[in-house]
Amino acid sequence: MKTKSFYMMVSIVLAFTLVLTACSSGNSGKGSNGGNNGGESSANPSAAAEQGENQPEKPTEITIMLPLNIAETPPDTIKNEVEKLTNTKLTYQFFPADTYEEKLNTSFATGSLPQVTYLKNQATFVQMKEAIREGQFWEIGPYLSEFPNLSKLKEEILNNTKVDGKLYSLYIGRPLARQGMIYRKDWADKLELQAPANVDELYNMLEKFTTGDPDGNSQQDTIGLADRNDLVYGAFKTVAAWFGTPNSWGELDGQLQPEFVFPQYMDTMDFMKKVRENKWMNVDFAATSKTDQVSLFTSGKAGVYIGSMQDVNSLVKDLVKNVPDAVVDVHSMVAGPDGKFAAWAIPGYNNVALFPKSAIKDEAELKSILAFFDKMMTPEVANMMYWGQDGVHYTVQDNKAKATENQELTEREVKGFKDSVIGEPETNGMYEGYHDLPARIHAEQLIVENEKIAVHDPTSALDSATFTQKGTELQELIKDATYKYIYGSIDKAGFEKAVSDWKKRGGDAIIEEFNAAYSKQ
């Protein structure tokens, strides 16, 4: 009996010893530092903290909504690389640009906007200002100084995006004045024409490109100008600037007035009307899409394209497929009747990103999202999103990004993300583009020159409640009247009646409100 009790006692002691050993081993595995005793390290807060620091930080999850300017949603090639560089898990909600405003409005009305919401353009930003004033979006201005890269954004452009003096958005930077003309230099040389020094010479070029058989086939099958149904990014606004028209608004008799009450606007309409009546352009331009406008130029039918000079690469690429010997150049220094040069300027951005309060619960979450954008504004991330993968979508030459010849691949995989990059090369450090096409090199030089003669919209940073509410609708009235005048379906009196209607339906209030805001600057 004693022997049995002895063995039972030994068994209990051994079991208890094993439990203590296991506990000691467990503590040591969780908290020991080098050769320290497990019990001591488990009670050591600094050791536990150090172990926590070694744990990988959980990726920040961010959902982003933005317009898609290509036919199909891009694959995850670039997104995956950006996630690695920024320690994020990104969900992109792409919607076609053509219907983006509708989707934006529906998502806002149902409270389903994601954490990061890109607008479509400056016009949709104006429309969203009332919601911003109502407190639907986070004010981010006070936080920018906490982020070294976001704080580099240009103050003058940030000011153009403020609402009642407060900053709610991050901007996608763009050159101030890219507009000019792309033209067939081989046609000009054949007809002994120089790049037009003024609007009269431009008129003459359009005539000669139509009537002078510039393609040498002994048929009158060419036109001078290819234009489209866009009074801003088509030919009209650029030609209007050359005629001396203000950029959207200007001072007249000591007061801000809309561009279409200035005599230079009427002069521009007269110019376009004569060009159309003489059939020196596509006479159905008001119903012509950009795709069809481009086709007129690249097929060899039209000799002048007025718009962004940076479009020259794609135009030349497609033109030489049809006309291998074609030579193209760009030009922007076209003087008006007063002998002065001018180029209309954008406010330094073409879109912004907003941060809805319905999707971002608190300040900490907002800061974590802003931290992602701060990382976006590093050369490594900005280059990935704007240019793509080095060696795949571009190569570095002379410290610039040279796009691959496989533009279809780049457009499919990169374009969707490129359109969301915050800032510009001066602020985010990404590569400038390398170009070997002489016309594109010339275009970049002229864009710099254009900034010296840029005409700014004085209302860019001003607010008008009536303009926010009715501006788009009223602008359609003027747009319609402008087309009708150029087409000859109304005369000067008819256009002036449209202006009078614009004023009665809210324009007078817009003028008053903009001037009140302007006087406070």
Fold of 179-344+456-461: D-Maltodextrin-Binding Protein; domain 2 (3.40.190)
* Each residue's pLDDT tens digit, 235-250: 999 999 999 999 999 9
> Could you tell me where the beta strands, DSSP code E, fall in 236-337?
249-252, 255-258, 302-308, 328-331
* pLDDT (0 to 100) of residue 472: 87
CB 285 within 8 A of CB 231: no
How far apart, in whole angstroms, are the C-alpha atoms of residue 201 and residue 210? Answer: 14
**Residue range 200-234, pLDDT digits in tens:** 999 999 999 999 999 999 999 999 999 999 999 99
- Rounded Cα–Cα distance for residues 285 and 483 (Å): 9
What is the rounded distance in angstroms from the CA atom of residue 359 to the CA atom of residue 292?
40
pLDDT at residue 20 is higher than 50: no
What is the reported pLDDT for 130?
Answer: 87
Facing residues of 171 across strands? 352
In angstroms, rounded to a whole number, what is the distance separating the alpha carbons of residues 307 and 91? 34
Look at residues 182, 337, 335 and name the one whose alpha carbon lies nearest to residue 270: 337
pLDDT tens digit sequence for 72-96: 999 999 999 999 999 999 999 999 9
pLDDT value for 155:
93
**What interhelical angle do 263-277 and 465-487 show, nearest 10?**
40
What distance, in Å, lies between the first and last C-alpha atoms of the chain? 105
Q: What is the pLDDT of residues 314-354, one digit of tens each?
A: 999 999 999 999 999 999 999 999 999 999 999 999 899 99
Domain boundaries, the chain: 60-175+348-430, 179-344+456-461
Res 53: pLDDT = 56
Between the alpha carbon of residue 487 and those of residues 21, 220, 421, 475, the distances in Å are 95, 23, 40, 18
pLDDT at residue 19 above 80?
A: no
Please tell me the CATH code under which domain 60-175+348-430 is placed. Answer: 3.40.190.10
Of 16, 110, 132, 367, residue with least CA distance to 375: 367
Each residue's pLDDT tens digit, 245-264: 999 999 999 999 999 999 99
Q: What is the pLDDT of residues 359-411, one digit of tens each?
A: 999 999 999 999 999 999 999 999 999 999 999 999 999 999 999 989 899 99
Q: What pLDDT, on the 0 to 100 scale, is given for residue 268?
A: 98
Same CATH fold, 179-344+456-461 and 60-175+348-430?
Answer: yes
* pLDDT tens-place string over residues 114-170: 999 999 988 899 889 889 999 999 999 999 999 999 999 999 899 999 998 899 999
The predicted pLDDT at position 436 comes to 92
Give residue 148's pLDDT: 98
C-alpha span between 417 and 165 (Å, rounded): 30
Most confident stretch, 15-29, 31-45, 49-63: 49-63
Question: Averaged over 11-33, what is the pLDDT?
Answer: 37
What one-character DSSP code corresponds to residue 506? I
What count of residues does the chain have?
521
Q: In this structure, what token pair is assigned to residue 230?
A: 């866009």
Assign 54 a pLDDT band (cuts: 50, 70, 90): low
- Asked if 348 contacts 113 with a C-beta cutoff of 8 angstroms, the reply is no
Average per-residue pLDDT in the chain? 90
Instruction: Judge whether 381 and 86 are in contact, CB under 8 Å.
Output: yes
Contact between 183 and 446 (Cβ < 8 Å): no
pLDDT at 461: 83
Q: Give the span between the Cα atoms of 240 and 233, in whole angstroms.
A: 12
Cβ atoms of 129 and 163 within 8 Å: the answer is yes
Q: How confident is the model at residue 420 (pLDDT cuts 50, 70, 90)?
A: very high
Compute the distance between CA of residue 77 and CA of residue 79 in angstroms, rounded to an integer: 6
pLDDT band at 47 (very low <50, low <70, confident <90, very high): very low
Rounded distance, CA 212 to CA 190, Å? 9
